[in-house]
Amino acid sequence: MATVLMTPPPARKTMASKDPTPQEIIASARQAPAMGAGAFRVTAVSACLLWASFTPLGWGPLAWIALVPLLLLVRLERPTRRMYWGTYFGGFLFWCPTLQWMRLGDPTMYIAWMAFAIYLALYFPLFVGLSRLAVWRLKVPLILAVPAVWTGLEYVRAHALTGFSWYQLGHSQFYWLELIQISDLVGAYGISFVVAMGSAAIVEMLPLPVFTRLKLLPQSGTSPISATTQSSQQRWIMAGSFLIVLGTTLTYGTYRRSHAAFEAGPRVAAIQGNFPSSLAPQQAERDHEIFVKHRQLTAEAIKLQPDLILWPETMFPWPYFAKADDLDTAAFKEVTKDVDPTYWNENHEIKQRLKSLSQASAAAVVCGVQTVTANQNGLRLYNSALFIRPDQGFTARYDKLHRVPFGEYIPFAESVPFLGWFTPYRGSFGIQAGEQGVAFDYKGIRYAPVICFEDTVPHVVRQCLRQGRTTNDKSHKVDVLLNLSNDGWFHGSSELDQHLITAAFRAVEFRTPMVRAVNTGISAIIDGDGAIRVKAKNADTGHSKEVDAVLCDFVPLDHRHSAYLQHGDWFAQVCLGLCVVCFTTGVWSRFSLRRKAT
């Protein structure tokens, strides 16, 4: 029998399904969000302005307006379509070119470059979302919510995955010395707060037509954009509040700089070789070449009679072998059974070579070296700084505390093995983290070393300075920070400039001068105001990057007190607290809506 498909008759209209009234249609249109293209455009503009604020362009004044386009999305009462996808796109658009120098170390580092940019881009939509919760749910004034959330997220970024404190908003103001002096109170985070507050103040003053022209409002154009700026008087109050904060910051900076009584301290020589780094196997001849070149440069420095000579990270090309004191002979043989015993026998010769170098220089020597330690847990590899005195020989060793993820270790390598693909290394890989900061004493001056990117992480430098204060059971403030680094991986890129800029903020935060010896550059002496006193330059070309050079000068000692050294990141933690409250509010609101829906 054939089956006949019957089309049901149209349902009769009832009172419950009547056509909407014109008023209902208008109300529905007013509730519809704006198209998403506007969010993509304004976030892309912010990304471009932020990129231009940092090296290689270094147009710092742009940072004061860089967040303005992005903050238009915070002032909107109703988000646009795909707003958070747009902000994520903008975040990636900023971080991808900003971190392009990561790829220069090895072709396989392209994977790590992309992975890191993908991760860091998340902070853009997170910033917009938390700021909107603070403004629209918690009713925090935009001019306060925006800088607090931005600063709190910078603090998170400085700690997540061991921390990445590069390209903080405040770093763009490196050359404005009066502004950055508040770092000794609240760290570089405080400068980021002030700059973000400036953008928020500008956004508060923008009229409604700006949002309409950028297509951030529905076509009806009747949606309010901010509950915090309902009157012209309130907008001027917000702008005035920012000007008071900025004026107070500059007044403090001017006062602190005017009371800086720098004292000529030790004469320190920083040795800068020019040896590009790569993952290709190194020949023994190159190790000898590295040593000979640094010894030649040291000979030039000796003519200037330095008190201390500083070599860059890992530029003493032969490993230093150490045995734990609690390791007996039998255990030592078991731990080192797979190691050529000549390595340990040659260790005495390495110590003598270093002592001879120090004695010939009539100066203390700090050099970067790879250390292999035998202890109860087996063999461990460290990135170290050795301290050698002409009168005593080898006296102390500092092992790097802060390891670079995917460069010196693979985070979660045991539980998530595939992460090994984000690094050019394969198989057994990585160094161990040191246990604490160590200081070196010589001629009444106390030095504290930090290695590689440690000078970019404020809480790590603070730890080294506080622990170095009590070295050798003597309470003595660290007088000079020493940075040993190897930027030869980045082939003269903007990384070298940004590394120097970021390091300068540590000198301000802790009112402690810093001497940097960096392979391929930029070696420099930085005073406690964050001013670069002198850079290492090639005598023939005058260039500071990718050249052999010797820097030798007196270090300006700074006896001013640092509240940031004493109290740490309390300000950034308060800002983080607001972020946590906003996040909790958002989660609870979503949970409540779902409960009502069910």
In CATH terms, is domain 263-276+284-398+438-556 a member of 3.30.70.2860? no
**Distance, CA of 509 to CA of 191 (rounded, Å):** 11
Peptide bond preceding 141 in cis form (omega within 30 of 0): no
pLDDT at position 32 is: 55
**Distance, CA of 482 to CA of 516 (rounded, Å):** 6
Choice between 165 and 218, residue whose per-residue pLDDT is larger: 165
pLDDT at position 225 is: 56
Choice between 31 and 520, residue whose per-residue pLDDT is larger: 520
**Distance, CA of 104 to CA of 26 (rounded, Å):** 56
Query: Which DSSP string corresponds to 150-175?
Result: HHHHHHHHTTGGG---TT-GGGGGTT
pLDDT at position 282 is: 66
345 has a pLDDT exceeding 90: no
**Distance, CA of 295 to CA of 398 (rounded, Å):** 22
Choice between 16 and 188, residue whose per-residue pLDDT is larger: 188
Q: What is the pLDDT of residues 417-460, one digit of tens each?
A: 444 554 544 444 577 888 889 999 999 999 999 999 999 999 99
Amino acid at 566: Q
Please answer whether residues 523 and 517 qualify as being in contact, where contact means their C-beta atoms are separated by less than 8 angstroms: yes
Tell me which residue of 424, 365, 368 sits closest to 104, measured CA to CA. 424
**Distance, CA of 12 to CA of 551 (rounded, Å):** 91
Q: What is the pLDDT of residues 171-192, one digit of tens each?
A: 999 999 999 999 999 999 999 9
Amino acid at 501: I
Cβ count within 10 A of residue 8? 5
Please answer whether residues 133 and 586 qualify as being in contact, where contact means their C-beta atoms are separated by less than 8 angstroms: yes
Average pLDDT of the residues in 539-564:
93
Lowest mean pLDDT among 152-156, 221-225, 362-366, 565-569: 221-225
Average pLDDT of the residues in 88-111:
91
**Distance, CA of 1 to CA of 71 (rounded, Å):** 69
Partners of 310 in the beta sheet? 270, 366
Q: What is the pLDDT of residues 81-99, one digit of tens each?
A: 888 999 999 999 999 999 9
Backbone dihedral region for residue 430 (phi beyond 0: left; psi -120 to 50: alpha; all else: beta): left
Q: What is the pLDDT of residues 281-308, one digit of tens each?
A: 666 778 889 999 999 999 999 999 999 9
pTM: 0.87
As to burial, measured by CB atoms within 10 angstroms (0-12 exposed, 13-18 middle, 19+ buried), residue 1 is: exposed
pLDDT at position 123 is: 96
Q: How far is CA 533 from CA 291, 486, 513, 523, in A?
A: 28, 21, 10, 11
* Residue 99 backbone phi and psi in degrees, to 5: -100, 15
SS3 of 90-146:
HHHHHHHHHCHHHHHHCCCHHHHHHHHHHHHCCHHHHHHHHHHHHHHHCCCCHHHHH
pLDDT at position 26 is: 45
**Distance, CA of 325 to CA of 346 (rounded, Å):** 19
pLDDT at position 412 is: 52
pLDDT at position 566 is: 94
**Distance, CA of 383 to CA of 372 (rounded, Å):** 9
Backbone dihedral region for residue 187 (phi beyond 0: left; psi -120 to 50: alpha; all else: beta): left
The two structure tokens encoding residue 296: 């030649």
Lowest mean pLDDT among 347-351, 463-467, 551-555: 347-351
Lowest mean pLDDT among 87-91, 363-367, 391-395: 391-395
5 has a pLDDT exceeding 90: no
pLDDT at position 473 is: 60
The structural domains of the chain, with segments of one domain joined by +, span: 34-219+228-259+572-597, 263-276+284-398+438-556, 402-435
**Distance, CA of 263 to CA of 269 (rounded, Å):** 18
Alpha helix positions (H), 411-493: 458-468
Cβ count within 10 A of residue 558? 23
- Give the side-chain half-sphere CA count within 13 A for 27: 5
The helix/strand/coil state of 313 is coil
